[in-house]
Amino acid sequence: MMNDIFKSHPIIKKVAMLKANDLYPFFRKIEDSEGTVVKVDGRDLIMVGSNNYLGLTHHPHVKECAIKAIEKYGTGCTGSRFLNGNLTIHEELEEKLATYLGHEKAIVFATGMQSNLGAIPTICGPKDLLLFDSENHASLIDASRLAMGTTFKYKHNDMASLEKLLEENINRFKNITIVADGIFSMTGDILKLPEIAQLAEKFGVNIYLDDAHGIGVMGDRGRGTMNHFGLTEKVDINMGTFSKSFATVGGVISGNTETIDYVKHTARSFMFSAAMAPSAVATVSACLDVINDPNENTHERLWSNVKLVRDGFAELGFYTYNSKTPIIPIFIGDDIKAMQVTQYLKEMGVFATPVISPAVPKGEALIRTSYMASHSHEELGKVLEVFKAAKEKFSIPSGLN
């Protein structure tokens, strides 16, 4: 019987153990949200576990546009864009995004994961090769499993490892594509895109950039990691999500016209899935309005907050993996200790999230914190005070063991 299959599974036993010891840190029920503050179990907590980097989920213009879209188009498209779900606002957003990102054309998907699951298999046939950074996001890994070609991994951000794979395989495959995150979601590492661009040019291969955590944040007004390095024209396909800086759900793939038209007519997660909801489309468009408004100082506030916290953690002696992005991880080490610290933070009024194995190597558990443009300096000061107390209470190390 299906009901009996998983009763003795180690995961189920581990979940039960953590719940029995009041250490289970997942699926916390958020009862209310005001952006930087959420209510959990009737208590207000400062949120430092969100990807809402620009703090736009509660921006008045963004909310107003989402409401108006529902009033005009309803709550959903109820079908694929191939058939009955293609709205004028989908195509208007795609044009707006292409201009913003600096590519010829863009296509939007209902989720970021669907963007990778759709695009990667279309560009990797049976005679093709994908070269993956070892810390690529799970959606890229799943996408590679759907692709008909071969996937090899190189060591994280290690250009010698990547070049060795290129040298060994350049004559074995029809097409080769280097696939990597722009900003790595756990540690906040920035991809070595300039070096990758040089290798791509040297060997005549393609670049697919998953910029889920870079779009909206890095570069001129958040145009992404490729813009940050001035290498937009070197990236063949750029992927971004709307579930971080753009305050909703969805994803985008951008590139030259022929590539995007090819993806549009072959990506199964696009062709056989309902279209992005009207309210989500309007939300992204409104976020672009805010980002491009010269009277807004969203990015200035974001980077000011990031510097304040990063400097504060350094002064307190935390190891933060030298992150230079709004993702600032705190090294803890032990999985159980990471969950104990998370529970303590909650008790002290801070919502943060633990990252444990297998999401990170065993013995490298961390608390993943991330910061928003909308955080006040007062809130961030309290966060630093709580982390200072946690460091003393749990003897959190100042470096990798």
- The domain locations on the chain are 21-50+297-394, 60-292
Point out which residues pair with 253 in neighbouring strands.
107, 239
Phi, psi of 20 (to 5 degrees): -65, -30
Point out which residues pair with 162 in neighbouring strands.
none
Name the residue among 175, 213, 179, 176 with its Cα closest to residue 193.
179
Which helix (H) or strand (E) segment holds residue 153: the answer is strand 150-154
Region of 241 on the Ramachandran plot (φ > 0 left; ψ -120 to 50 alpha; else beta): beta
Question: Which tokens go with 252?
Answer: 């985008």
Which helix (H) or strand (E) segment holds residue 195: the answer is helix 193-203
Name the residue among 54, 102, 373 with its Cα closest to residue 224.
102
DSSP class of residue 222 equals G
Confirm if 120 and 130 have CB atoms less than 8 A apart.
Answer: yes
DSSP class of residue 183 equals B
- Sequence-distant (≥ 6) Cβ neighbours of residue 27 within 8 angstroms: none
C-alpha 199/C-alpha 207 separation (Å) is: 10
Q: What count of residues does the chain have? A: 401
Name the residue among 234, 202, 210 with its Cα closest to residue 135.
210
| pLDDT score of 398 | 87
Distance set, CA 346 to CA 26, 265, 341, 343, 395 (Å): 12, 47, 9, 5, 18
Beta strands 251-255 and 150-154 are unpaired
Name the residue among 222, 150, 214, 217 with its Cα closest to residue 181.
214
At residue 152, what is the residue type?
Answer: F
- Sequence-distant (≥ 6) Cβ neighbours of residue 72 within 8 angstroms: 278
Question: Which tokens go with 59?
Answer: 């921006």
| pLDDT score of 2 | 66
**DSSP strands (E only) in 155-236:** 176-181, 206-210
Question: Which tokens go with 62?
Answer: 């963004």
C-alpha 67/C-alpha 332 separation (Å) is: 42
C-alpha 283/C-alpha 249 separation (Å) is: 9
What dotted CATH number matches 21-50+297-394? 3.90.1150.10
Top-tier CATH class for 60-292: alpha beta
Confirm if 306 and 213 have CB atoms less than 8 A apart.
Answer: no
Region of 62 on the Ramachandran plot (φ > 0 left; ψ -120 to 50 alpha; else beta): alpha
Burial class (CB in 10 A: 0-12, 13-18, 19+), 19: exposed
| pLDDT, tens digit only, all 401 positions of the chain | 567 788 888 888 888 888 888 888 889 999 999 889 999 999 999 999 999 999 999 999 999 999 999 999 999 999 999 999 999 999 999 999 999 999 999 999 999 999 999 999 999 999 999 999 999 999 999 999 999 999 999 999 999 999 999 999 999 999 999 999 999 988 899 999 999 999 999 999 999 999 999 999 999 999 999 999 999 999 999 999 999 999 999 999 999 999 999 999 999 999 999 999 999 999 999 999 999 999 999 999 999 999 999 999 999 999 999 999 999 999 999 999 999 999 999 999 999 999 998 888 889 999 999 999 999 999 999 999 999 999 999 999 987 76
C-alpha 104/C-alpha 255 separation (Å) is: 6
| pLDDT score of 50 | 94
Question: Which tokens go with 254?
Answer: 């951008």
